[in-house]
Structure 1
């Protein structure tokens, strides 16, 4: 047991340092002075250098060779530490440090370019990021598929070929639903001016209703909402818009899903590899089921309608059912994070195809904006009006997250499976949601998914939660057909 104990002590220290590095990223997105970007890049580079040295420390290999797992959780710890070590030793230390430094700088360049609608200002640094990510992917792939090696960092065991087949299966039904809705009568939008301080107060209330523990978290504002941290320090961000309170409220519920996953993991596993969400796809399943199947359900919308009127007065919607239709209406738009449940996945498929082409070299950065605009027009039927609504809208590529985007749609697929199982387990769920109480659902998710952290593989996690039923797109597509077929019966 000595080798196992020594390995876990060392790993907990590495995990603690990684949390500190994550806090630097959180700070950059929320409260860091604008002029501190260059220094922060150096700080992040230094932190990555230390972390990479620890993750590739030869003692880790020695401990792994000698360690014996005391139980199931210990075996999972060894599996995940071995996986991390084997990936880390393939990436040269100078490359890991250079990537950390570059992506901190690139993020600032992206933010400026987005504000100025100037893709040309971002393209050079994106080219640098892509070059280093290709290097990293090639090192990780060891002669295999470079994109799959990058994808594996976010969804272990997944391949682009499998995901492409799943997305192709989904696309026809999504396009059919989209066309039927947009050809029918347009559902009413919310109208008015919504005090941003009141939005934040209501967001905090919703976070608490969905189980977010504010003694171990906080809400701040960011340009691009995100969740950060784990265990006893799991933070979220949201954003406000005076004419669109849904952006704030549903971004909050979404990020609460992520944070509650981290807060719900068995506390004995904090600061260990098992003490994190098992994959980004499973993580996204929590945020999407919180936001959509629960937060956008008819029952919860009936409750939220009253709270909206309490917070803002008249909102331009006549009753609870009209409010439900407003929350879920399909509409023309450019922004992925503001898209309805049907069109959201089409946004992801666009990015998935483009980033695979970038990584393979079939698409050059200089041609990315035109490729994005052409694909968007083909998929959505109207042109992109400006880069901030198109190729510059997402932060992901600026920070090197190639392989991340497909996990959003995979998370939707997982959420569809979990929702089907949840409805079987809690048949009176709507009665609770109508009272603004999602606790039966969040308790079930905590027990079925969240508390297990990284104990099992992503696929095993969802399969076990769903009573042995393997993940497939069928439950999600059935849910979307039923929901939007009711809203758009034409």
Structure 2
């Protein structure tokens, strides 16, 4: 065997172990009994220690020096392994294990604190997580910006400065659009009670309608919906609310977008660095285009309206046009995951700015809730009413995912570019969506983006699929056209 083959044989075992570690996380949120928390933290720490040791094994450095790329797949695998090796080598094994253990404990404390509306109970463990992530960022960054080191873990090549420039271009037009919309009469809101078992049954139908393969996946309930795994085992979760079935339906479609990306990667890349999504921003582009540009389109909501009438009977919305407006209703709300397309990115930009300040040492953990609430009041014009609608609503910081939030808005930007290209390629797509048929749309995404996994860098991935470099213009045009039509602007 040559150096590249030796390296890839070793890497496949590492990738398989990483999948096992990920399954521990899935189980913790979907199945694990409450009393197992302490033991699971030890299990996470043990797996993190093993994976860290493998990822800095000195043989990797030797193989990388000798390995030669004979094609673009080998070149991409070497690029990803080299990047991971250089990054991981800077993080002490002790720190990697401590992070895994602490974030495992923090997740359960966050869930309990959220349920009990008790910020004070969460802050001490959050302080530990922040301190550990700062230590990690400093070790990786050296003389560079520590926040960029964290961001690079989720969106390779991106920087806080570059994202700030993009987000600053987004914010004024989003604020103006929001103000214009809220000055108009709002469409009717959905009211009534919707059986949660029926919600889950219809969610399963939605998942398969968007191409989710249940022979290599499964759907369960969790506090915070997520997708987990890659290759031949890709799982999703959703949640139900008896008075808000849209939360269940669109959380499901969103997570199916993530899962479809992983299921859509060519099997020849299984258990290799190329065989997973290239970045969280690109991942989010798939979930958002599934959820919004496709799932909330006039054509698809017409089909969903009929499905809901069949499942629940008359629920007070008179016709498909009114239902489309209700699905896309812009209204006040504190929850990011339930926000409409116009306001969603404002929620993300709040978190981006707050966590940058936190990691820079300009904001203390004990002042975090006040900073969050002040910024929310300034951006949205009303106050956060309770912690579960504010600081405690998201799981990410309990899991140490600092640098993750901006990829949500970046994913929306990517989705705007992809949607523009998709509509140009399939101009009669609405005929399919009106029948609940997403095959050509999801097939186009699979052919042009998903199958390649991490073959290209994030920017190259979007540029290849969309035919243009990522920029905010298509997203803004889409939002202004869509909501201008709904609200008569």
The alpha-carbon deviation at position 180 of structure 1 amounts to 1.2
Task: Write the mapping of 1:36-47 to structure 2, written as runs, cut at 5 A.
Answer: 36-47=36-47
| Paired position in structure 1 for 2:75 | 75
Measure, in 2, the Cα distance between the counterparts of 1:148 and 1:380: 28
Name 2:208's counterpart in structure 1.
Answer: 208
1:88 pairs with 2:88: yes
Q: Which residue of 2 aligns with 1:271?
A: 271
* Corresponding position of 2:141: 141
Q: Which residue matches 2:32?
A: 32
Give the equivalent residue in structure 2 for 1:114: 114
* Counterpart secondary structure, 1:273: coil
Aligned equivalents of 2:410, 2:302: Cα separation in 1? 29
**Structure 2 residues without counterparts, runs of 5 or longer:** none
SS in 1 for 2:314: coil
Matching of residue 475 in structure 1 with residue 474 in structure 2: yes
Determine whether 1:4 maps to 2:4: yes
Correspondence for 2:17 = 17
Deviations along 1:345-396, one digit per CA (max 9) or x if unpaired, are: 0000000000000000000000000000000000001000000000000000
SS where residue 47 of structure 1 aligns?
helix
The equivalent of 2:488 in structure 1 is 489
Deviation at 1:487, TM superposition (A): 1.1
TM-fit CA distance, 1:187:
1.1
> What residue is the counterpart of 1:51 in the other structure?
51
Cα distance per residue 1:271-294 (max 9 Å; x no partner) = 110000000000000000000000
Structural RMSD (CA): 0.6
SS at match of 1:214: coil
| 1:471, distance to aligned residue in structure 2 (A) | 0.8
Aligned pairs for 1:291-310 (under 5 A) are 291-310=291-310
Q: Give the structure 1 partner of residue 443 of structure 2.
A: 443
Match runs of 1:354-369 below 5 Å: 354-369=354-369
* Distance in 2 between residues matched to 1:163 and 1:417, nearest whole Å: 16
Equivalent in the alignment of 1:244? 244
Give the 5 Å matches for 1:110-259.
110-259=110-259
Q: Note the C-alpha offset of 1:316.
A: 1.3
Q: State how far apart, in whole Å, the 2-side matches of 1:113 and 1:191 are.
A: 29
Secondary structure of 1:237's counterpart equals strand
Q: Secondary structure at the match of 2:215?
A: helix
Secondary structure of 1:229's counterpart equals: strand
Within 2, Cα distance between the matches of 1:378 and 1:279? 31
> Shift of the alpha carbon at 1:111?
0.6
Give 1:400-419 correspondences, 5 Å limit.
400-419=400-419
Equivalent residue of 2:155, what SS? Answer: coil
SS in 2 for 1:484: helix
* Aligned-partner Cα distance in 2 for 1:140–1:236: 32
Q: Distance in 2 between matches of 1:99 and 1:329?
A: 40
Structure-1 separation of matches of 2:474 and 2:108: 40
Name the structure 2 match of 1:427.
Answer: 427
Q: Distance in 2 between matches of 1:237 and 1:378?
A: 33
Q: Give the distance between the partners of 1:396 and 1:231, measured in 2 at CA.
A: 24
- Greater alpha carbon shift after TM alignment, 184-193 vs 317-326: 184-193
- Comparing 417-426 with 69-78, which one deviates more in the overlay? 69-78
The structural deviation recorded for 1:431 is 0.3
Question: Matches of 2:294 and 2:315 in 1, distance apart?
Answer: 22
Map of 1:385 onto structure 2: 385
Secondary structure in structure 1 of the residue aligned to 2:228:
strand
In 2: Cα distance, 1:315 partner to 1:360 partner: 50
CA shift for structure 1 position 11: 0.3
Q: What is the SS of the residue equivalent to 1:248? A: helix
Distance 1:473 1:2 in 2: 45
| Structure 1 residue 186, shift from structure 2 partner | 1.7
CA distance in 1, matches of 2:365, 2:117: 16
In 1, the alpha carbon distance for the partners of 2:358 and 2:20 equals: 32
Q: TM-score, normalised by structure 2?
A: 0.99
TM-score between both structures, scaled by the size of structure 1 = 0.99
CA apart distance, 1:417: 0.1
For residue 275 of structure 1, give the secondary structure of its aligned residue in structure 2: coil
Alpha-carbon separation, structure 2, partners of 1:313 and 1:272:
48
User: Secondary structure at 2:318's aligned position in 1?
Assistant: coil
- Cα distance in 2 between the residues matched to 1:315 and 1:284: 32
- Which 4+ stretches in 1 moved above 3 angstroms? none
**Following TM superposition, by how much is the alpha carbon of 1:70 offset from its aligned partner in structure 2, in angstroms?**
2.5
Number of paired residues? 489
Distance 2:231 2:182 in 1: 43
Q: Distance in 1 between matches of 2:469 and 2:71?
A: 26
SS of the aligned residue for 2:316 comes to coil
